[in-house]
Structure 1
Amino acid sequence: MSKHHKYKSYGPQYTVTPREGLTLEILAQAEKAGAKAGYAMAKEQLYRNIGNSSVLNEQETDELLAAAERAGAAAALTAARKVLDKTLRTSFKHYHHSTAQGPAQQLAPQPFAPAQTRSYSETYEEPLAQHTPALGYLDPPREKVDQHILTITRVEQLNAQMVRIIAGAPDLDGYRSNGAIDEYVKVFAADPALGLEPPYDLRALRQRLPRDQVPRSKSYTIRWINAVVPEIAIDFVVHGEPGTVGHWAGTAQPGDPLVISPSRSKSSLSLNADYYVLAADEAGIPAICKALEALPSDARGLALLEVADQNAMFDVKHPPGVDLRWLPRDGVPAGRSSLLADELRSLPLPHLRLGLIAHAERSTVKEISQVARHWHLDKRSSHISSYWTLREGRLRR
Structure 2
Amino acid sequence: MSRPTESSPATPQRPARPQRPQIVLEVLERIQLSPRMVRIVAGGPGISAVEDNGRTDAYTKMLFAHPGTDLVPPYDLDALRQELPVELLPSRRTYTIRRFDLANGRIWIDFVVHGDEGVAGPWADGAVPGAPVVLGGIGGGYAPDPEADWHLLAGDDSALPAIASALEAMRPDTRGVALLEVDGDADHLELTAPDGIRIEWLHRDGREAGTTTLLADAVRAVDWQDGRVQVFAHGERGAMKSLRPYLTDERGLDREQLSLSAYWAHGRKEDTFQAEKREQIGQI
Shorter-normalised TM range: 0.7 to 0.9
In the other structure, the counterpart of 2:216 is 341
Task: Measure the CA separation in 2 of the matches of 1:246 and 1:270.
Answer: 32
Q: Which residue of 1 aligns with 2:98?
A: 223
Query: Separation in 2 of the partners of 1:295 and 1:307?
Result: 23
Instruction: Work out whether residues 215 and 243 of structure 1, in 8 Å CA contact, stay in contact via their aligned partners in 2.
Output: no
Q: 2: CA distance between counterparts of 1:177 and 1:314?
A: 24
Greater strand percent: which structure? Answer: 2
Looking at structure 2, the residues matched to 198 and 354 of structure 1 have their Cα atoms a distance apart, in angstroms, of 44
CA–CA distance in structure 1, aligned partners of residues 243 and 68 of structure 2: 42
Percent of matched pairs sharing the same residue: 38
Q: Note the C-alpha offset of 1:339.
A: 0.5
**Secondary structure of 1:262's partner?**
strand
Give the structure with the larger helix fraction: 1
2:89 — aligned with what? 214
Write out per-residue CA displacement over residues 260-308 of structure 1, whole angstroms, 9 at most, x where no aligned residue: 1222123565342111110001111111111111111111111001011
Structure 2 residue 68 is matched with structure 1 residue 193: yes
Give the distance between the partners of 2:118 and 2:89, measured in 1 at CA.
Answer: 9
Partner Cα separation in structure 2 for residue 320 and residue 235 of structure 1 = 25
Q: Secondary structure at the match of 2:138?
A: coil
Q: Are the aligned partners of 1:158 and 1:164 in contact in 2 as well (CA < 8 Å)?
A: yes
Contact kept in structure 2, 1:191 and 1:243, CA below 8 Å: no
SS in 2 for 1:283: helix
Q: Does 1:331 align with 2:203?
A: no
- Structure 1 counterpart of 2:257, from 335, 356, 381: 381
Report if the CA contact (8 A) 1:365-1:384 is conserved.
yes
TM-score normalised per structure 1 = 0.60
- Contact 1:240 1:395 survives alignment (8 Å): no
Instruction: Spell out the pairing of 1:81-230 with structure 2 (5 A cutoff).
Output: 146-170=21-45, 172-230=47-105
- Is the 8 Å Cα contact of residues 22 and 135 (structure 2) preserved in structure 1? yes
Letter in structure 2 aligned against 1:353: R
Secondary structure, counterpart of 2:137 in structure 1: coil
Report the AA paired with residue 151 of structure 1.
E
Would the aligned equivalents of 1:362 and 1:390 in 2 still touch at CA under 8 Å? yes
Residue 273 (structure 1) aligned with residue 169 (structure 2): no
Amino acid of the structure 2 residue aligned with 1:343? A
User: Could you tell me which residue of structure 1 aligns to residue 9 of structure 2?
Assistant: none
The higher relative CO (CA closer than 8 Å, separation ≥ 6) is in 2
Cα-Cα RMSD: 2.1
What SS class does the counterpart of residue 192 from structure 1 fall into?
Answer: coil
Out of 79, 87, 110, the residue aligned to residue 235 of structure 1 is: 110
Deviation of 1:377 after TM superposition, in Å, equals 1.1
Tell me the alpha carbon deviations over residues 66-111 of structure 1, each in whole angstroms, 9 at most, x when there is no partner. xxxxxxxxxxxxxxxxxxxxxxxxxxxxxxxxxxxxxxxxxxxxxx
Gap change, CA 1:216 and 1:240, over 3 Å in 2: farther
SS of residue paired to 2:53: coil
CA deviation map 1:187-240 (0-9, x unaligned): 111133321111112222223222222111111111112222211111111137
Change over 3 Å in CA distance of 1:313–1:383 after alignment to 2: same
Distance 2:115 2:242 in 1: 25
Q: Which of these residues, 215, 221, 226, is aligned with residue 351 of structure 1?
A: 226
| Paired residues of 2:25 and 2:134 also in contact (CA < 8 A) | yes
Deviation at 1:144, TM superposition (A): 7.1
Q: Do the aligned partners of 1:148 and 1:259 also contact (CA within 8 Å) in 2?
A: yes
Is the CA contact (8 Å cut-off) linking 1:149 and 1:173 kept in structure 2?
Answer: no
Counterpart CA distance in 2 for 1:181 and 1:242 is 27
Residues paired across the two proteins, number: 254
Q: In structure 2, what is the equivalent of residue 62 of structure 1?
A: none
**Which residue of structure 2 aligns with residue 391 of structure 1?**
267
Structure 1 gap segments, 5+ residues each: 1-142
Partner of 2:151: helix, strand, or coil? Answer: strand
Task: Kindly state the Cα deviation for residue 310 of structure 1 after the two structures are TM-superposed.
Answer: 1.9
Q: Which has the larger radius of gyration?
A: 1
Q: Which residue in 1 is equivalent to 2:172? A: 297
Against the structure 1 CA distance between its residues 240 and 216, is the aligned structure 2 distance closer, same or farther, given a 3 Å change threshold?
farther
Contact 1:148 1:260 in 2 (8 A): yes
Q: Work out the CA distance in 2 between the residues paired with 1:290 and 1:165.
A: 15
Q: Could you say what secondary structure the match of 2:240 adopts?
A: helix
Alignment-derived partner of residue 247 in structure 2: 372
Looking at structure 1, the residues matched to 239 and 264 of structure 2 have their Cα atoms a distance apart, in angstroms, of 10
